[in-house]
Each structure stands twice: as C-alpha cells, then as structure tokens.
Amino acid sequence: MTNPLLADWNTPFELPPFDLISDDDYAPAVEVALAEARANIAAIADNPEPPSFANTVEALERAEETLGRVLGAFYNVAGADSNPKREELQRDFAPMLSAYGSEVVENKALFARVEAVWDRRAELDLTDEQQRVLMLSRRGFVRAGAQLEGKAAEDLRAVKSRLSVLGTEFTQNLLSDEREWFMPLGADDLIGLPDFVVATAKAAGEEKEAGGPVVTLSRSLIVPFLQFSERRDLRQKAYEAWGARGANGGDTDNRGIAAETLKLREERAKLLGYDTFADFKLETEMAGTPGAVRDLLMKVWEPAKAAAEADAAILQRMLHADGFDGPLEPWDWRFYAEKRRKELHDLDEAELKPYLQLDRMIDASFACANRLFGLEFEPIEGPVYHPDVRLWEVTRDDEHVAVFIGDYFARGSKRSGAWCSAMRSQHRLGRDVRPQVINVCNFAKPEAGKPALLSYDDARTLFHEFGHALHQMLSDVTYESISGTSVARDFVELPSQLYEHWLEVPEVLAEFATHADTGAPMPEDLLERMLGAATYDMGFQTVEYVASALVDLGFHDGSAPTDPMQRQAEILEEIGMPNAIRMRHATPHFAHVFAGDGYSSGYYSYMWSEVMDADAFAAFEEAGGPFDPETAKRLEETVLSSGGSVDAAELYIAFRGRLPGVEALLKGRGLDKAA
C-alpha cells in the first residue's frame, strides 16, 4: 500500500491527507524523503557540467521538496496535537535531520560549486533576487561550518547534533509539565471568579476527567484565575506551579538542558571564529551586534521600571488594605491590577469579554485584510489533523491566493503559546506554488453550544498571528528559501505587531465587537474605556518582557554560565528587577530560547520590530487613516510581498523613507512620560 505522505495529494488545494495518514506513516516517509534528498544533493555535487546558478543554487532550492512536504505535515501536527508516538518520532528525527544537514554543508564538492558561482556572480547576469539567494545560500554554508576541516568540522557536527536533541527534549519536558499539573477547585475555591472563568475551569476539568472544575497551566485559564480569584493561597499555589514549569526535578527538569545548550552554543560560535554566540547570531540580524540590542533594551527598561515601581507601590497599599501584611508578591499583581483597572477605567474583563467573541474577531481580522489588501476568505472543507481545525480559501479578484488554517483552542496535546507556520510556502520555481498557512493559538474552549470568548489580550494575539499569516500569504517571490517570513528575526515580527494596531481601530471594534447573547454592538462608552485602558499596566508588561530579553542576551553575550539559574538571578539583580514581577519566561520554560536557536540571543526582536511597527502605523495615520489604500499598497509591495529578497532595513526604508527611533515605541506604550 502506498504511503499517503509520499503519494500525490489529491485533496482540496493539495492539503496533507490527514484523514489517510497514520503515525506509522511518518518514519518510513521521512526515510524515503531523506534518501531522495541525499540523492539530489549528490547529483548536484557530482554534476560534470560547470557550476551555474541553475544547476547549483536553483537545484539546491528543489533538492528537498519531498522532505519539506513530509516534515511540514509532521511538525505542524507534532506541535499542535502531540501524543507519545509523535514525541518519540520527534526524538528520533532530531539527530537524523541534524546529521543530514551536516552532510550537506560538509560536502566539499557541493560547497565548491556554490563558491564557484559566487566568485563569478558579476558576470552571470543574475536578477537582484537571484543575487540575494546566492549570497544567502553561500552565507548559510559558511555559517554552518562549510569552511571547517578535520577535527573542527567533526566537533561542529557533534555539537549541532546534540543541540537538536536537547531542543526536542526541552520542548517535550515543558509540554509534559504543562499537561500533567492541574489544581482541582471546590465550591469555596470559586470565590471571585466570573462565570467565564468558572466555565473554562469546568471544561478543563472535563478534559482532565477530574470530576469538577480545575485550574491548568494553560495561559488562557491561569491568567484570568490570577486576575479574579480572591483566594490568595490558591493564587500562590497556581502561580508557583506556573513558574516552576521545567524546574520540578526528575525526568522533565530543563535546568541541566539549558546549561548544556548554552555551553554547546558557545562552542559552536568559537569553532566558527566568533567571540560569543550572540556575536554569531546577531551578525545576520538588523541589530547587528549585542551592543545595539542592549542599548535598545536599556532605553526601554529604565522608563518601564519606573512606571512598574510606581504601580507596585499603589498595588501594595491595596494589598495591605485587604488585611495582608508584607510585600506585594507576583501572585498578587494581576489580582490587584485588575481591581485598579476597574477603579481607574471602570473596566473589568468580565464586562468586556462577551463582546470579544472568537468568531467575530476572526471576521474582524479578515475584514481588515479585505479593506487593506483586497483578500476574500471562504470556509472550505478538507482533511484536518484535529476536529477543532478550520480551513478557509483565500482569494483576490477571484484568483486563489492561499489556504488559511486556524487551530484556536487549548488542549493538553498542544504546546503552549501561539504561532504561525506554513504547511507549504509560496514560490514560483518550477510551478506557481501558493501557500498553506496555519495560525495556532491556545484560547479557552467553551462549553458545548456556547461561543468562545476572548480577553482583549487574546484578541491581540489573534491579530498578531494573522499578521504573520498575511506575510506568508502575500509573499510574491521566485525562491522558497526567501519566501514569506524567511527574513531577519528582528524584522519578522514587524508585520504581526503592525497588524495588532487594526484591533484598536474604533470602527473595527464598533462593527465586530458584538455581545455574545444579544448581538448588540459594544456600547460606545465601553469602547472608549477599553481603548483608554490600552496602555494600562504597561510598566508590568514591559518589565517582564525586557527582563527576559536581557537574560537571553546575557546568557549568550559572554562565556556560557555553568549555572544558568544563578546567572539569571545575577542579571536580574544587576538591572534592579522589581520584587513583585518575574520574568515572562524563566529559564527552565523559556522555549523561545531553548526549544531551538530561533530566538536565542533574539528574544529582543519583538521590541526591535515594535520600534518599526509603531512608526509604520503612524504612516497610515499621517496619510489619512488606518485603511489608506496607497499606504496599504506600499506596505504590500515593499514589506509583505518581498520576503527575504531584499535586506530588511532597505525594505523598511522603501516603505517609510527612513528608519525609526525608539520614541514612537515609548509613546505607544505610554512610557514616554515615565521617569
């Protein structure tokens, strides 16, 4: 019987045939796809014809087509709907794929051909896009160690193999801790909780078969519990469990993995001739150097810390007024901040949430994309890996643009957080391939028959991930290696963070923020109060983020610490971390940094992009409004369609005419007056 992963996908828009694929199909398919990729690489390296862009660089672009298709299906499922078999496959695939990658970059004949094309580039009459692809291809080989010889090459291969295994283990340990812990709630434990939190806790209890409501470590449940529960003892218990993910001892403890990872990253950087891993990693980013990153973060840190400390003094007085002695603790902050928000802005989440229905917020994100870029979204049927997954065809002027896939609800089999990825990326090499883009979120699943309700933060997350999706869907390049979000890490968050701004446009909320029970639009005074509170508690939010970014940078900008937890504590003491706030991601559950090296030395990139997104949205406002057609067209033509075909700074300058300063970010966060 033919393996469905390797057969033609006779499905709508060639989606993976998840209805036919079993977990037993993945390993044989990866084995076949790897053999095919190796044969393709050998054919390129051994080609008797003189090296050319077509028979070397373009051939490399096509070499892993089957492997990419198989892994695109597998890793999307493994991240969003894991099980023991899929976790085992991830552990098996990590060293296999690392070994294959090392074989490619260590193939001297192959690199010699790439180098030959590079040396002759001036006489080859290449397009600008081809010049860019050639440069990135050669740079990728060099940064992967293609120029190393002998023991150095062997050492680097071993380091990369071990890092791939450690990243998989880190992710699976974190998922295990998040999946296994829950706290049952009796009738007396529900005091203060709004109906939507109780309903979410009951749904979570049903999933855990706990016989009643529970609190889990899913952000969509634990955050509102910390906001509303009047049981300080339970808030402390839940918060400490949340903060202890990956640091509970035993088989799922990530502290040793973090230490080994940092040591190996330092070794990797030194083998490649860099002083530190941060120097290596940031070389290809917009920031360029660790010093530039630290300079940005500290410009934001000082006003954010001042704002947070002023807020902490007020919240601590509220704590004492409730009869609790001692300092404000991290499990108190969200509870008293929520109370204070109601006092200052006459706003609480229980009043707000019925107006932020998931389906209406999806409709809002689609409607904005239609007004800005002319995109249409039509629900379609097709094979999916989980019953909660939804599909849409995306068109423009009646032409197919993409398939958009939405997987919105939290479940025990899904890793935490939210992300955008592609089952298939856009390119035009050989044929016109349109993307299949997926947004994965972890919103609370409602009781059967009830609408899913979002917090305002959830709604921002939905718009954020959809901004990434637009970057993928509107990509218009020839080569897959530079398609969509294949850009500098500190540029990739620009489209996503920019798109969040449209959630704050009053006319968008007036149309789509409708009550779940009555269908009535959000009252104008509630809309004004909500938008007026947009920068509320921003000192806290900025401090917990920037602290994480500074710890990430500190881990990699120097010698690797033997004890990352001690180094984390030292960095937080050096910057004067407020006592009542903890890092957004402590080291043992800092998946951005330790699940792989995508955001290692790069967690700052959200803030680097925010400097641009605040300035970019101002371009719309200066042009007459958030839906100005000429500005939208320029944004698509420069940033969204170009992928990595042009240097990121050049793309931004093409859109805006200049690079921005930090002032727009501080103003957008309400920190411009903090002292």
Q: Which residues are designated catalytic?
A: 465
Give SS3 for 202. Answer: helix
The CB density around residue 460, as the number of other CB atoms within 10 Å, is 19
Alpha helices in 209-328 (DSSP H): 219-228, 232-243, 255-271, 277-282, 290-321
| Strand blocks (E) in 430-499 | 436-443
Torsion-angle region of 477 (φ positive above 0: left; ψ -120 to 50: alpha; else: beta) = beta
SS3 content of the chain, % helix, strand, coil (to 5): 60, 5, 30
Contact (Cβ atoms closer than 8 angstroms) between residue 289 and residue 279: yes
Write the CA distances from 235 to 181, 247, 333, 503, 544, integer angstroms.
Answer: 15, 19, 10, 31, 19
Hunting for tokens 């054919």 — which residue is that?
43
The amino acid sitting at 378 is E
Please state, in angstroms and rounded to a whole number, the distance separating the CA atoms of residues 416 and 47: 46
Contact (Cβ atoms closer than 8 angstroms) between residue 328 and residue 311: no
In terms of DSSP bridges, do strands 399-409 and 436-443 run parallel, antiparallel, or are they unpaired?
parallel
Contact (Cβ atoms closer than 8 angstroms) between residue 608 and residue 296: yes
* Degrees, nearest 5: CA angle 74-77-79: 105
Please state, in angstroms and rounded to a whole number, the distance separating the CA atoms of residues 439 and 423: 11
Closest by CA to 310, choosing from 293, 328, 292, 331, is 328
Identify the sign of the CA torsion 145, 151, 152, 158: positive
The CB density around residue 313, as the number of other CB atoms within 10 Å, is 9
The DSSP letter of residue 14 is: G
Phi, then psi, of 404 in degrees rounded to 5: -105, 130
Residue 557, CA atoms < 13 Å, CB-side half-sphere = 17
Please state, in angstroms and rounded to a whole number, the distance separating the CA atoms of residues 54 and 57: 6
Contact (Cβ atoms closer than 8 angstroms) between residue 157 and residue 81: no
Which helix H or strand E contains 560, and what residues bound it?
A: none
Hunting for tokens 């000192």 — which residue is that?
539
Entry field: residues in the chain: 675
